[in-house]
Structure 1
Amino acid sequence: MVLGWRRRKGCNNNRRKGGKSITELVIPNHFRCPISLDLMKDPVTLSTGITYDRESVERWFDEGNITCPVTNQVVRNFDMIPNHSLRIMIQDWCVENRQHGVERIPTPRIPISPNEVAELLMQVKASARGLDQYGCLKLVQKLKRWGGESERNKRCIVDNGAPVALASSFDAFANDSVERNVVVLEEILSALNWMFPLQLEAHKSLGSLASLRCMVWFLKHQDLSGKEKSIVALKELLSFGDVQHVEALSQIEGVNVLLEFINKRISPTITKASLRVVWYLVSSSSKSSEKMRLAFVELGLVSSLLDILIDSDKSLCEKAAAILDSLCSSEEGRNKACGNDLTIPLLVKKILRVSPLTTDYSVSAIWKLCKFGEKDEGRTLVEALQVGAFQKLLLVLQVGCGDETKEKATELLKFLNPYRAELECIDSDYKNVKRSF
């Protein structure tokens, strides 16, 4: 196998198919990593005397290997010594072959060590204890620069306790004053955004009442970048499943800003994360979930979700259907949903059209509206029949679904069946529908 760059020429020598000539530029074997067989960008030598590209050999060891790939010797010392002489030779070779399209390999930065990370984090904690926002700001910015240099640096930073140190620092500055420390707080939150998921101890600090208030303040007062960092942090925090975080967040004024994000859709990241946060708030097992469902229903969330279901991508439809299903667990949510002419037609339409998850949530929402909607005197069932729900539910059972959805679909068919003799269902194109998943 020949490895290297290829250069096209306009001459007639070595012509191939299509009348184009190709000249091979072969990479010298000693410039290639024995693992990846690619040109080495950061050659390092192991204790066995064999040189590899740093990224390739680190990946080799990260996968659990403890031997030298070439010699198969057990590596007792995992130190990687930069091979500067070979790296300079590779860079000179790249410069000599620039006319062949070869780009010069940049000089790699020296990776950070665990000791460097530990020392810097000690300074971060000390700055936070003393509420020295400017000192802490410089340290966090340095940490971000390190992380931006390589994925290896990011792993080293995370593995040596950065999430815990940054989360506790965020809590300290948020407890002092959000307005006075807004710059360092946003910088800390920006650094934490690429460290998710966090450890339990970091979750406790980031989930404190002061930290949550700070993030809600960011949602209301910061620019687009600050809003994105905050909503992503809230989403990751609530995904941990701690009901105490849900309880605390539900007590903070201004959470209704999430509905504004859902309606305005100022950025895909904010919209999706906002939907996820709302779902955690209205569907958790905490005591405040019922309160949050009622609050969001009164704010008009049902109509907002139906707008999303009209014409949105798979991810948004799944999240909107999940929240609507949760809202239908309350009487207020069912009343608001039944009062909207779009609810049943949209839910029926989304069955088998978007994804299995959307189908599950749509069937569940229709089931709740039909089973617990005693006050509508069967109007919901009649409407569902008129838009083809009976045929759709039969298809759901035929193509297969989960046990819970199967039970609800079967019960819905029993609810609908008595009304079929009196109603002639709309002729739909569901007979020839193809599964979209």
Structure 2
Amino acid sequence: MATTIPPLFRCPISLELMRDPVTLCTGITYERKSIEKWIADGNSTCPATMQSMPSTDLVPNLTLRSLIHSFRSSLTKDGRQEEEGCEILGAVTIRRLCSSSIGLAQELRSVRKSLIKQQQKMSPQLREDLMAAVMAVLESPSSSSEIVEEALGTILFLMPTTSSKNADDHDTLTRLARSSTAILLSRSSSTEARINAASIVEKLASADCDLKLQLGSSQPLLVALVGMLASESSTTGKGRRNSMPRAGLEAMRSLLELRRNRARLVALGAVHRVIELLPELGSRSCTELGLSVLELLCRSAEGRDSFAGHELGMFAVAKKMFRVSTLATELAVSIIWSLCKFSSSEGLMRKRAVDANTFERLLLLLHVDCSAATKQQVYELLKFLRQAYSEEPCIIAAPDQALPAAVVPIYPRF
């Protein structure tokens, strides 16, 4: 069991156990190396309090150093190994990755398994050094497809989850974006490598808005992602069903959050590909993912026009309104509502909605617990489709009845 390090023993900058604590004129204590680097970078404020420092003199905190020394001495052998094991592992790993190309795939697999156990103890510097070493392996012309596959899996673990303002980190992520694009386009890439590359694209687009714009501007990348939805192999060698289409959908969903990327993906046939994929998505999460991508695509006029060009699109969406999940129901209703209200072919869309038995499904939704926004869309859709049922007034007792006042009107999202 790991020994808990008292917060006062950690440096406010590196968050690691201090070895040489020094105190600034502001009264805050730091690790000497960390604060010296802070001052050398030209900063004139205290990192913790952001107060101006009239003096940059560093005074050794002998009392705290003595306490930390006693704390270190009290650690058991196992405790010391657990505290420093991650750093030792990282140093050894980096040397191995940089020194030889023999057995790299096995080495990368071992690295990933070991790092999963040490994740909480990994310092930012170690993560950065490991990322640089694995990136060098990934970009090496001599790396086999197996090594590339394992390197991508390791990078997925090492990638930051949030955007970084550090210029070096941004450069690394930009290089990673180029490498992932190349792997997705390469015919020699394995299925697992392409899945990992698409997952990296999804993480990059989610973490950095500039990279989202850069990735969305790459026509070859978008072509590769759309192509993943029509992959003949929906199950990888490791038995994960729908892994290839799912990875492509996740990457597309992240890119579609940027409005300008929607028209680009629509032009490449993304709408038709998602429609044709929907019946094959067996799991709840995959179905929700497919519907969310389709809903984002249909927020644009180009997406709605493309949807109208697919005769079976309305049937595919209407079939997912029930027996999947509440989220799937709300997404399906939102897609149909958008098509019937804002499509340039709204008459055709309403006719197809009637043919797909959407009217009956909407009536059932009146008795289902769903969000106020979805209820509003259901009421509006029933008004759009009631003319086809005008000969059966019993279905809607008061066709001109106003919508409930409690329901807030919904406007199209662009």
Go from structure 1 to structure 2 and tell me whether the alpha carbon gap of 1:321 and 1:274 turns closer, same or farther (over 3 Å shift). same
How many equivalent pairs are there? 314
Supply the distance in 2 between the matched residues of 1:274 and 1:335 (Cα, whole angstroms).
23
Please state if 1:164 is matched with 2:116.
no
In the alignment, is residue 81 of structure 1 matched against residue 77 of structure 2?
Answer: yes
What CA distance in whole angstroms lies between the structure 2 residues aligned with 1:277 and 1:358? 19
For 2:179, the equivalent position in structure 1 comes to 214
1:113 aligns with 2:85: yes
Residues 302-313 of structure 1: pairs in structure 2 closer than 5 A: 302-313=271-282
Aligned to 1:261: 228
Could you tell me which of 179, 185, 196 is aligned with 1:229?
196
Write the mapping of 1:225-374 to structure 2, written as runs, cut at 5 A: 225-240=192-207, 242-255=208-221, 256-266=223-233, 267=236, 268-282=242-256, 284=257, 286=258, 289-290=259-260, 292-313=261-282, 314-374=284-344
Q: How does 1:185-196 map to 2 (within 5 A)?
A: 188-195=151-158
> TM-score, length-normalised on structure 1?
0.60
Alpha-carbon displacement from aligned partner over 1:264-317 (angstroms, at most 9, x marks no partner): 1533332211111111222x1x3xx43x32333233222221222223212322
Q: Which has the higher contact order (CA 8 A, sep 6+)?
A: 2
In the aligned structure 1, how far is the partner of 2:103 from the partner of 2:124?
Answer: 19
Select between 249-258 and 139-148 the one with higher mean Cα deviation: 139-148
1:398 counterpart = 2:360: no
Q: Tell me how far 1:325 sits from its aligned partner.
A: 1.3
Q: Describe the shift of the 1:281–1:423 C-alpha distance in structure 2 as closer, same or farther (beyond 3 A).
A: farther
Structure 1 or 2, whichever has the larger Rg, is 1
User: Could you tell me how far apart the structure 1 residues matched to 2:356 and 2:280 are?
Assistant: 18
The residue type equivalent to 2:128 in the other structure is V
**Distance in structure 2 (CA, Å) of the matches to 1:385 and 1:179:** 57
Residues 392-425 of structure 1: CA deviation (Å, up to 9, x unaligned) = 2232232111232222222212222344205899
State the match for 2:358 in structure 1. 389
Q: Shift of the alpha carbon at 1:121?
A: 7.7
1:25 aligned residue: none
**1:159–1:405 Cα change, 3 Å:** farther
What is the aligned partner in structure 2 of residue 145 from structure 1? 110
| Pick aligned residue for 1:180 from 141, 148, 151 | 141
Distance change in 2, residues 1:371/1:281 (3 Å): same
Give the Cα–Cα distance (whole angstroms) in 2 for the partners of residues 248 and 363 of structure 1: 32
The CA RMSD over aligned residues, in Å, is 3.9
Note the residue ranges of structure 2 that are not aligned, 5 or more in a row: 8-69, 237-241, 396-414
**Cα deviations by residue, 1:201-246 (Å, 9 ceiling, x for unpaired):** 49634531x3211111111222223223212222222233x32121
Structure 1, residues 157-198: CA drift from partner, whole Å, max 9, x if none?
x44544333444566788xxx463656766543322334554
Match in the other structure for 2:19: none
C-alpha distance in 2 between matches for 1:347 and 1:307: 10
Q: Distance in 2 between matches of 1:246 and 1:425?
A: 51
- Distance verdict in 2 for CA 1:420–1:61, change over 3 Å: farther
The answer on whether the counterparts of 1:328 and 1:334 sit within 8 Å (CA) in structure 2 is yes
Q: In structure 2, do the counterparts of structure 1 residues 309 and 239 end up closer, same or farther at CA, with 3 Å as the change threshold?
A: same
- Tell me, in whole angstroms, the C-alpha distance in 1 between the residues paired with 2:370 and 2:337: 15
- AA aligned to 2:217 is Q
Unpaired stretches in structure 1, ≥5 consecutive residues: 1-56, 65-74, 84-108, 128-132, 427-437
Shift of 1:366: 0.5
Conserved 8 A contact 2:362-2:378: yes
Aligned residue type for 1:280: S
